[in-house]
Chains A and B, each alone.
Chain A
C-alpha cells in the first residue's frame, strides 16, 4: 500500500523512510510565518532571544498585514517592535505594511514551494497547499518556541481525498465549490486530518486553488494540498522560482485514504454561507432578494486580480445600488498593480467602490468597514463568525466575488449568472 502526500512530505522532512498516520515526528519546518502578532510572540521570549538569538534567520517570514496602516498608537507601536526585531536578528524575509495579506505575499514571493513544510501563527497558513506545500496553522507560543529552536513535533494525519470532475459553468467560481464542500462535510469534517485534492485540477487556476486551500481550515483540516502540475510550475516561474529549486511530492496512486469524496464542478451553483458558521450553506437561489448594507471584496481568500476583474466585469459602466456600501481590499500590492494597469480598479471605483490598502482590512473586525448592530454584509472572506467584523449583532454572509459584485449592483442577493456579461 502506498503513501499519501502528507506521509511522504513528513517522512522526507523527518529523515525517515516511511511514516504512518498517528506517528509523531520531529521536523524543522522550511518556514515559519508570523504577522502583526510577531510583537506578541517575541514579547513572550524577550529574555530568551537575548540569550540564545533565533535558530535561523532564514526560518521566519514576517508580513505586517492585519492592521495596516496602523489604526492606533498601540498597533503602531507593535509594528515598531516587529521592525526592531527584524533588524536586530537579521530576519531575511520581512514585508512591511503595504505588501499585502501574508498568505498572498508568501505565495507570490515564491517562499512556499512544492514539497516543503511551512507553519504559521495564522489559521489560514493552509493556503500554501495551493502550490503543493504542506502548510498548517499553529498558536503564538508554538511560533515563539520555533523561533528559538527551529523544530517541532507533528502528528502524521490521516488524509481525505477529494476528487474534482469537469469544469465550472458561467458565473460559477472556486468559492462556490469550497463553500458547498464545507457545507457537505461540516466545519469539523476534516478534523485532525489532511485533505488532498485530485482530478481535473488543470481546470483550476492557482488563484482558484488558493481560494480552496485557504478555506481548508474551515473544515478543520490540517493542510489542504493540490498536487503540482504544469500550472504550478508556470506560476512559480513567473514568481522567479526555477523548477530545479524545489522537489515536489505526489501521493502514491495506491495511497490509503481515511475517506474519498467526489465533486462535479459542472454541477456547482452559486453558493453562500449564512451566519454565523461557514458550514451553514445555502444556494444563492434559496436566499434571492435578501438585502445587504455592505458588500466586501477582498482578503486572502478572494482579493486577487482575477477576483477584482470578475467584479469589474459585472460593474462595468454601472453604479452600486444607493445605500449599499461597496468596500474593496486587494490581497496584495502586486495584485492591486495588475488591477490598476488594465482599468479594473477604475471600473470598481467609478461604480462607487471604496478602495482600501492591500491587507486584511475589514475581515477581522479590528478596523475599516466595521459593522453596526442590525447590519448585514456579504463578503468574499473565509469566516462569518459572530462578531468577526467587529460587531456581534451584525450578520456576515460569505460568497464568491461575482455574487458579491452582483449583490452590490442591486442591493440584494443576486445570482451572478443573471448579470455576468
Chain B
C-alpha cells in the first residue's frame, strides 16, 4: 500500500483537467488523466488499496465528479484529509468513496508511518497513535452501504 500525499486546496481541475470533462466520463476514460496536472506519476503507478492524505478543502472548484469516479475505480481505500469541499464530499458519498476528515492525523503523519483504519469505528492508528473521526449519519450511511446513490435510488424505486 502506498500513501500519496498532497497539500491544501487541491481543486478538481488539478484532479481531472476541465478540457476532458465533455469527452471523458466513464471510469476507463477518466483513469489515464487522474491527477494529471497535480502529479503526472499518479495515474501510471497507483494501485488498489492505496491511500491519499491531503490538506484542507480537497476537491474544491468544479462540480465534475470524474475525480471521484476515477479514484474509486483505481481502488483508493480512503482519502484522509483536513477538510473536503462540499460538492466533492457529496459526490464521494454518492460513489461510495470513503473520505475521512481527521486533521490531527494528517498533521501527525510522517512518511513511512504504518496506518491502520477502522472505518466503521471511526478510528485511525497511525505510527502507534490513535486518532478518531466522526461517522456519517445513518441516513447517509444507507446510501454508501447500498453501493452508492444510484443503487440506493433503484432500491427506493423498486420499493425495497
Q: Which residues of A contact B (CB under 8 A)?
A: 24, 36-37, 40, 43-45, 48, 52, 66-67, 72, 74-75, 78, 121-123, 136-142, 144-145, 148-149, 153, 187-188, 191-192, 217, 220, 222, 277, 364-366, 370, 383, 385-388, 390, 392
Q: How many A-B residue pairs have CB under 8 A?
A: 127
Choose one: A48, A52, A123; the contact of B63 (CB below 8 Å). A123
In Å, the complex CA distance between A48 and B137 comes to 28
Give chain A residues whose Cβ lies under 8 Å from the Cβ of B154.
Answer: 48
- With A and B bound together, what is the CA distance between A365 and B25 in angstroms? 17
CA distance A138 to B90 in the complex (A): 8
Q: A141 to B150, Cβ gap below 8 A? A: yes
Within 8 A of A (CB), among B18-47: 18-19, 21-23, 25, 37
- Asked if A144 and B150 sit within 8 Å, CB to CB, the answer is yes
- Nearest opposing residue in chain B for A41, CB measure: B25
Which 7 pairs from chain A and chain B are nearest by CB? Answer: A139-B91, A188-B57, A139-B65, A40-B25, A385-B13, A123-B63, A145-B153
Which of A48, A78, A277, A392 interacts with B37 by CB under 8 Å?
A392
Q: Which residue of B lies closest to A193 (CB)?
A: B86
A36 to B62, CA, bound (A): 14
Chain A residues whose C-beta falls within 8 Å of the C-beta of B95 in the assembled complex: 141
User: Once bound together, how far apart are the Cα atoms of A219 and B137, in whole Å?
Assistant: 25
Give which listed residue, A66, A191, A192, contacts B22 with CB less than 8 A: A66
Nearest B-chain residue to A364, judged by Cβ: B18
Shortest distance from the beta carbon of B13 to any chain A beta carbon, whole Å: 4
* 10 new A-B contacts at CB < 8 Å, known A121-B63, A141-B149, A390-B18: A24-B137, A44-B150, A45-B150, A148-B157, A188-B85, A191-B83, A370-B19, A386-B14, A387-B14, A390-B19
Which residues in B have their C-beta under 8 angstroms from that of A142? Answer: 90-91, 94, 149
- Min CB distance B66 to A, Å, is 9
| Contact indicator B9/A141 (Cβ below 8 Å) | no
Q: Is the CB of A366 within 8 A of B22?
A: yes
Interfacial chain A residues near B152, Cβ < 8 Å: 145
Tally of chain B residues near chain A (CB < 8 A): 40
Inter-subunit contact A122/B156 (CB<8 Å):
no
- Whether A188 contacts B150 in the complex (CB less than 8 A), given A142-B90, A386-B14, comes out as no
- DSSP majority for the A interface? loop
Across-interface contacts of A383 in B (CB, < 8 A): 13, 61-62
Complex contacts, A385 vs chain B, CB 8 Å: 11, 13-14, 61
Bound-state CA distance A57–B9 (Å) is 38
Give the distance in Å from the alpha carbon of A334 to the alpha carbon of B65 in the complex: 31
Chain B's closest residue to A188 (CB) is B57
The proximity string for B residues 112-138 relative to A, scoring 1 for CB distances below 8 Å and 0 otherwise, is 000000000000000000000000010
Docked CA distance A138–B149 (Å): 13
Is B65 in contact with A140, judged by CB distance below 8 angstroms? yes
Q: Is the CB of B86 within 8 A of A191?
A: yes
Q: Residue on B with the closest CB to A78?
A: B22
Given A145-B153, A149-B153, check contact A386 B13 (CB 8 Å): yes
CA distance A388 to B16 in the complex (A): 10
Chain A contacts for B70, CB-based, 8 A: none
Whether a CB of chain A sits under 8 angstroms from the CB of B56 is yes
Contact across chains for A141 and B14 when beta carbons are under 8 A apart: no
> Residue among A66, A191, A390 with the most chain B CB within 10 A?
A191
- Which residues in B have their C-beta under 8 angstroms from that of A148? 153, 157
Q: For the complex, is B87 an interface residue (Cβ under 8 Å from A)?
A: yes
Expressed in whole angstroms, the minimum distance between the Cβ of B51 and any Cβ of chain A is 22
Q: Decide: A74 and B22 in contact? CB cutoff 8 A.
A: yes
Q: Given the interface contacts A188-B57, A188-B85, does A388 sit within 8 Å of B18 by beta carbon? A: yes
- Cβ of B140 within 8 Å of any chain A Cβ, yes or no, is yes
Cβ–Cβ < 8 Å partners of B86 in chain A: 136, 191-192, 220, 222
Taken together as a complex, chains A and B put the C-alpha atoms of A383 and B13 apart, in Å, by 10
Q: Tell me the complex Cα distance, A145–B156, Å.
A: 11
- Which residues of A have CB within 8 Å of B17? 365, 387, 392
A78, A385, A386: residue with the most chain B Cβ atoms closer than 10 Å? A385
B80 interface residue per 8 A CB criterion: no
Interface assignment of B68: CB less than 8 Å from any CB of chain A = yes
Cβ A141 vs Cβ B94 within 8 A:
yes
**In the complex with contacts A44-B150, A149-B153, A192-B86, A139-B18 CB distance below 8 A:** no
Contact of B94 among A40, A67, A139, A188 (CB under 8 A): A139
B21: contacting residue among A192, A222, A366, CB under 8 A: A366
